[in-house]
């Protein structure tokens, strides 16, 4: 597919509104409508220079209302001698009016938690489109972006697959990668059309159309044993009414709700501490927890790693997976001792 016929990347509403708020907070004098539509992520992709942007302007008007409905003080400033000329109206969000009220205070623990949350997103991991939009805003004289970005969450991932997949999402590029399916010992190459990257239960997943079976599947990034590579092909994303991320997260939530395990952990041990917090555990007794999970193999790895401190009671498939891991570990250590 050529660049001229490629579909315009769809930007989620939340990202567009966040980008608009970011731009309007970061400028003291405000931005004109043309500057916003041509520069801000979510608008700039559809902006036509010297062309018809009527639908985009209507979108901007709706977004202004949405932002104000959220309680954000968005101002429209028109020069006195140009009253009635909306093209020269400048929009901004006064930082002083957007600050927290004086009577709102946080404890030391709350400040620590807010600080941790604030490290989830930063400029270094914004999408390529967002970074280009920020660069264009800087060229318009918006110089206070860095402090604003500093309070945005930073997306940190250990999976090498994340960045190539994010790029593929922006370009609607088909990618391939070796993938180890749960229960398999060898990887198989999967070719997919990426639809969304989502984080669920602390792990990143790719929601995509599996090219071999033409069906949607969810892939765990940690099971991709090599960096995804572009196939050189592009695709047109399906025109679903709800976002792909929402669909993927809804499916993962259903799986998480359906899968339940009962695990015993010795009180006051590392196993008890970790299991009681990492899986939204429900305490049945002092040493007994009911856990939800999306992937039985990941839970088996975690419980097996605690050794004698933890024991899985149900389901039987989880117990069997843990026994298999512990048996394999014991056999490996026996082989080492015999070779010495």
- The pLDDT tens digits for 47-83 are 888 888 888 888 898 888 888 877 788 888 887 766 6
Res 275: pLDDT = 80
The CB-based long-range contact list for 209-217 (8 Å cut-off, 24+ gap) reads 209/235, 209/238, 211/174, 217/192
pLDDT digits (tens, 9 = 90+) for 289-338: 899 898 898 889 889 988 889 999 999 999 999 998 888 887 766 655 55
- Two structure tokens written together for 165: 């997949």
* 156 belongs to a structural domain: no
* DSSP code, position 120: S
* DSSP code, position 81: G
Res 191: pLDDT = 96
Q: Where is average pLDDT lowest: 21-35, 165-179, 308-322?
A: 21-35
196 within 8 A of 243, measured Cβ to Cβ: yes
Q: Are residues 37 and 137 in the same domain?
A: yes
Q: Are residues 224 and 320 in the same domain?
A: no
**Residue 320 or residue 141, greater confidence:** 320
Res 157: pLDDT = 46
Res 85: pLDDT = 61
Q: Are residues 290 and 223 in the same domain?
A: no
Sheet holding 188-200, edge to edge: 215-220, 203-210, 188-200, 173-179, 229-234
* Residue-number span of the structural domain to which 119 is assigned: 13-150
* 133 belongs to a structural domain: yes
**Residue 252 or residue 111, greater confidence:** 252
Report the C-alpha gap between 235 and 249 in whole angstroms: 23
Q: Are residues 274 and 291 in the same domain?
A: yes
Report the C-alpha gap between 225 and 30 in whole angstroms: 48
Report the C-alpha gap between 56 and 62 in whole angstroms: 10
Domain boundary among 150, 171, 198: 150
Strand, helix or coil for residue 259: coil
Domain boundary among 150, 170, 194: 150
Res 5: pLDDT = 41
Q: Are residues 179 and 216 in the same domain?
A: yes
Domain boundary among 228, 252, 276: 252
95 within 8 A of 25, measured Cβ to Cβ: yes
* 212 belongs to a structural domain: yes
* 157 belongs to a structural domain: no
* 176 belongs to a structural domain: yes
Report the C-alpha gap between 306 and 303 in whole angstroms: 5
* pTM assigned to the model: 0.53
Res 25: pLDDT = 82
Res 263: pLDDT = 94
Q: Are residues 63 and 99 in the same domain?
A: yes
Q: Are residues 230 and 325 in the same domain?
A: no
pLDDT surpasses 70 at 107: no
**Residue 24 or residue 189, greater confidence:** 189
Q: Are residues 201 and 216 in the same domain?
A: yes
pLDDT surpasses 60 at 126: no
- If one counts every other C-beta atom within 10 angstroms of the C-beta of residue 43, the result is 24
- Mean pLDDT of the region 77-99: 73
246 within 8 A of 201, measured Cβ to Cβ: no
* 325 belongs to a structural domain: yes
174 within 8 A of 181, measured Cβ to Cβ: no
- Two structure tokens written together for 17: 């509104």
Q: Are residues 142 and 17 in the same domain?
A: yes
* 318 belongs to a structural domain: yes
- If one counts every other C-beta atom within 10 angstroms of the C-beta of residue 199, the result is 15
Q: Are residues 225 and 186 in the same domain?
A: yes
- Mean pLDDT of the region 20-49: 85
- Mean pLDDT of the region 88-102: 74
Q: Which residue in 145, 104, 107 sits closest to 126, CA to CA?
A: 145
- Mean pLDDT of the region 200-229: 91
Q: Are residues 17 and 133 in the same domain?
A: yes
302: region left, alpha or beta (phi > 0 left; psi from -120 to 50 alpha): alpha
* 127 belongs to a structural domain: yes
Q: Are residues 127 and 172 in the same domain?
A: no
Res 8: pLDDT = 55
What's the domain count of the chain?
A: 3
Q: Confidence band (pLDDT; 50, 70, 90) for 175?
A: very high
Res 17: pLDDT = 85
Cβ burial of 322 (10 Å; 0-12, 13-18, 19+) is buried
């Amino acid at each position: 597919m050529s660049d001229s016929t490629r579909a315009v990347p769809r930007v989620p509403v939340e990202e567009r509104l966040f980008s608009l708020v970011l731009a309007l907070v970061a400028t003291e004098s405000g931005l004109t409508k043309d500057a916003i539509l041509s520069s801000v992520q979510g608008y700039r992709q559809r902006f036509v220079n010297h062309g018809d942007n009527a639908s985009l302007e209507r979108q901007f008007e709706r977004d202004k209302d949405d932002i104000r409905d959220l309680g954000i003080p968005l101002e429209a400033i028109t020069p006195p001698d140009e009253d009635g000329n909306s093209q020269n109206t400048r929009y901004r969000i006064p930082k002083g009016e957007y600050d927290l009220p004086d009577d709102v205070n946080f404890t030391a623990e709350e400040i620590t938690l807010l600080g941790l949350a604030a490290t989830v997103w930063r400029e270094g991991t914004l999408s390529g489109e967002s970074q280009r939009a920020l660069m264009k805003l800087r060229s318009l004289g918006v110089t206070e972006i860095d402090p604003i970005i500093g309070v945005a969450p930073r997306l940190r991932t250990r999976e090498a697959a994340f960045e190539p997949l994010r790029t593929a999402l922006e370009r609607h590029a088909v990618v391939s990668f070796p993938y180890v399916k749960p229960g398999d010992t060898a990887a198989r190459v999967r070719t997919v059309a990426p639809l969304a990257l989502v984080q669920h239960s602390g792990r990143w997943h790719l929601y995509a159309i599996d090219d071999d079976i033409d069906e949607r599947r969810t892939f765990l990034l940690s099971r991709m044993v090599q960096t995804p590579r572009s196939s050189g092909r592009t695709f047109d994303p399906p025109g679903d009414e709800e976002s792909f991320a929402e669909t993927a997260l809804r499916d993962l939530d259903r799986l998480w709700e359906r899968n339940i395990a009962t695990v015993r952990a010795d009180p006051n041990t590392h196993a008890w501490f970790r299991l009681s917090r990492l899986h939204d555990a429900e305490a049945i007794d002092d040493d007994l927890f009911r856990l939800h999970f999306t992937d039985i193999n990941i839970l088996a790895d975690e419980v097996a790693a605690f050794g004698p401190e933890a024991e899985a009671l149900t389901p039987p498939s989880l117990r069997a997976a843990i026994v298999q891991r512990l048996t394999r570990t014991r056999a490996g250590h026996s082989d080492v001792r015999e070779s010495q």
